[in-house]
Amino acid sequence: MESYLVDEINIHLKTKLDRIYQKYSFNISKQYIYEKYKLNSLNILPTIEKPITEHTKHSIATREARCEGRVWNKGIVKIVDERYIYGAQCSRTKKDDSKYCGIHSRSEGHGNFFEHPPHEHFKKYIIKHNLNISD
* 46 part of a folded domain: no
pTM of the model: 0.48
CA separation for the pair 76, 117 (Å, rounded): 13
First and final CA of the chain: distance in angstroms? 72
Look at residue 88 and tell me if it is in a domain.
Answer: yes
**104 in the same domain as 68:** yes
70 and 29 inside one domain: no
Q: What is the helix (H) or strand (E) element at residue 70, kind and residue range?
A: strand 70-71
Q: Which residues span the domain enclosing 122?
A: 63-128
With respect to residue 116, please indicate whether it lies within any of the assigned structural domains: yes
Assess whether 117 and 68 both reside in one domain.
yes
Name residues whose C-beta falls within 8 Å of residue 73's C-beta, 6 or more positions apart in sequence: 87, 88
| Residues above pLDDT 90, as percent of the chain | 19
What's the mean pLDDT in 89-118? 87
Q: Is 67 in the same domain as 112?
A: yes
Tell whether 58 is covered by a domain: no
Helix axes 30-37, 2-23, angle to 10 degrees: 140
pLDDT at 100 over 90: yes
In this structure, is residue 43 part of a structural domain? no
Residue 135 belongs to some domain of the structure? no
Contacts of 18 (CB under 8 A, 6+ apart): 30
In a domain, 44, yes or no: no
pLDDT value for 98: 92
Domain count, the chain: 2
